[in-house]
Amino acid sequence: MAVITHTPSGNVEVKKPRSNSTLLRVSRYVTRRLLVLGVTVVVGVYLTIMIANMGGHVDTIMRNEIADRITQSIAANPAMQQMAPEVRRTLIQERIAAEEKRLGLDTPLAIRSFRYLSNALTLRLGRAINMTSDAGSKQVRLILLERLPATLLLMGVSQLFLFFSSVFLALNLSRHYGNFWDKAVVALSPTSAVPPWFYGIFMILIFAGIFKILPFGGMVDSPPPSNPVDYALNVLKHMLLPAFSLVLSSFFLSIYNYRTFFLIYSSEDYVEMAKAKGLPPGDVERNYILRPTLPTIITNFAFLLIGLWTGATITETVFLWPGLGRTLYHAIGLYDIPVIVGSTIINAYLLAMTVFLLDFIYALVDPRVKVGGN
């Protein structure tokens, strides 16, 4: 029931009683949202499975490979060279059938793909076909977990540095529109057209090849230093070039983006009003530029965090960095489908969770946004 009250000024205000349907609205929204995200994840992962299997072409490759391997091993076995050709052919057929059965190739991909899907969705990542972890395990979970710290270290350091430095510097530049540094950043922003691994190759050439002051690649010397402090310093030394390449290739464009973004928002009427009110410049920046733009900045930050998981495939490969990106690159080369799918499903879940949480974060930082509102 709406209650109409007359305010002192004679204006009519319609007041709604505090709605007890908030819980209902939010829970209805959460259900619908989770459902949509769930379907998205399922479809995405299924497509990944089909693509990783090249729509069934990988089966043919594997069948040929099995046939080759078994024919050759039997042909090379002196004990079997005495057999009659028919017997030997039957034996080959039987062994091929057994191997195909072992790998599940006897059931068509259309059926197997759903088994893969349900395994992936329940995070039973299974065993790799060819790859092993450094510790010798074929468990996909262990392969991925072993590589995760290296990727988190490299990507975490470079991406977090990139994010905070570009937001801070961009805010500074937007205050001094058109000065020397501002023009310099605008002029240098095309440097981001070049990918990080390309800078990486030059960095290796200059600092490892010519000056010989930094290592060519890897994460730590072999054998690694036993003292933990030396170990950390050694890793830092190895990380310098890849991290620098990753930062450099996005640095100027990222500053340029945020600077333009802040420039647009600092010409809002309410920013001018804040200046007219005589608020100190720091207050204007914090409450009138950063706060209204917080949803966008948080979104960028959240996607950056997800990006850490996938790693930088080619840059890690160029620098022989033992991270997830390089593992994924290997897995694609080896048609190691369980590893590809395992890496993808975790990324898909992280993405879906982030998107889901962002809706609630928006509602927290922006009063105009209401969870499940119209």
Partner 1 sequence: MNMPPRKLLQIEKLVLHFKTSHGVVQAVDSVNFELDTNRAVVILGESGCGKSSLAKAMLRLLPRNVDKYGGSVYLNGEDVMMYDEDEFRRNVRWVGMSLVPQAAMNSLNPVIRVGDQVAEPAMVHLGIRKTEAMTLVRRMFQHVGVPEDFISRYPFELSGGMRQRVALAMALVTSPSLILLDEPTSALDLLTQANIMNVLKRIKHELGTSFILITHDIATSSELADEVAVMYAGQIVEVGHAKDFFPAPLHPYAQMLMASVPRLRSESDPMFITGQPPSLIDLPEGCRFAARCPFRFEKCNEEPPMLGKNGRKVKCWLYE
Residues that bind partner 1 (CB under 8 A): 7-9, 11, 13, 177-178, 268-270, 272-280, 283, 287-288, 291-292, 294, 365-368
Q: Which string of b and e fits 62-79 if b means at least 16 CB within 10 Å?
A: beeebbeebeeebeeeee
**Among residues 89 and 277, whose Cβ is nearest to partner 1?**
277
CB of 280 to partner 1, least distance (A): 7
Pairing label, strands 3-6, 12-15: antiparallel
Collect all residues with Cβ–Cβ distance below 8 Å to 188 and sequence separation of at least 6.
Answer: 252
CB of 189 to partner 1, least distance (A): 20
**Among residues 8 and 78, whose Cβ is nearest to partner 1?**
8
CB of 269 to partner 1, least distance (A): 4
CB of 179 to partner 1, least distance (A): 11
**Among residues 5 and 122, whose Cβ is nearest to partner 1?**
5
**Among residues 94 and 283, whose Cβ is nearest to partner 1?**
283
**Among residues 69 and 277, whose Cβ is nearest to partner 1?**
277
**Among residues 157 and 271, whose Cβ is nearest to partner 1?**
271
CB of 14 to partner 1, least distance (A): 11
Angle between helices 109-121 and 337-365 (to 10 degrees): 50
**Exposed, middle or buried by CB within 10 Å (0-12, 13-18, 19+), for 108?**
exposed
The neighbouring-strand residues paired with 14 are: 4
**Among residues 282 and 333, whose Cβ is nearest to partner 1?**
282
Kindly report the number of other CB atoms within 10 A of residue 131's CB atom: 17
Sign of the C-alpha dihedral, residues 198, 201, 204, 205?
negative
CB of 178 to partner 1, least distance (A): 7
CB of 373 to partner 1, least distance (A): 12
Q: Are 245 and 200 contacting, i.e. CB atoms less than 8 angstroms apart?
A: yes
